[in-house]
Amino acid sequence: MVDRADRFIEVSLDKRGVRCTAKLLDDLAPITCDAVWNALPLGGDVYHAKYARNEIYALLPPFAPEEPPLENPTITPIPGDLCYFTFSDTQLGTKSYGYETEAKHQGRRQVIDLALFYERNNLLINGDAGWVPGIVWGTIVDGLDRMADACQDLWRAGALGETLNFRRA
């Protein structure tokens, strides 16, 4: 394996002016980290989880040359985890998920979910599909407290007009 320097990204909620710094977990999820790093900057409309609990995420078109394998998987993400999920259009197509018909991911055959978990007690289980393991590819190393406050505000005040963005730090 190639020895490389640590890589860091900035994760932001731009409308709220909140940013945090994450370290890529190259040693645990090298394929996913390379896919994300090579595609940066990435971002889109932010959503707050309905089922997984303390999670915000953006739904994006596929960006990896080949989808990463399920490396460094979890169904119980902890505060500060950045996770990568791949979904088909039908997995996110039911009204129960709360996506408006104009949501940018509608009509895509495949959707990538980049997520940030900001608090404890998360469980990745879906009433329609069962367990939904995600790839943990990064961890917040600075600013999680400010981001968690902003995520709580998203939950209470709403996410419309807000974006979740990932950039090289």
The structural domains of the chain, with segments of one domain joined by +, span 8-168
76, 124 Cβ separation under 8 angstroms? yes
pLDDT in tens, 30-87: 999 999 999 999 999 999 988 789 999 999 999 999 999 999 999 999 999 999 999 8
Share of the chain above pLDDT 70, in %: 88
CB–CB of 21/116 below 8 Å? no
Q: Which of 130, 36, 4, 2 is nearest to 75 (CA)?
A: 130
Under 8 Å between Cβ of 15 and 161: yes
Closest CA to 36 of 17, 11, 60, 63: 63
State pTM to two decimals.
Answer: 0.91
Structure tokens at 138: 């990064």
* Main-chain dihedrals φ then ψ at residue 138, nearest 5 degrees: -160, 165
Which CATH number does 8-168 carry?
2.40.100.20
Tokens 């709403």 belong to which residue?
A: 158
The residue type found at 88 is: S
Summarised one tens digit per residue, pLDDT across range 85-112 is 998 877 766 655 555 555 555 566 789 9
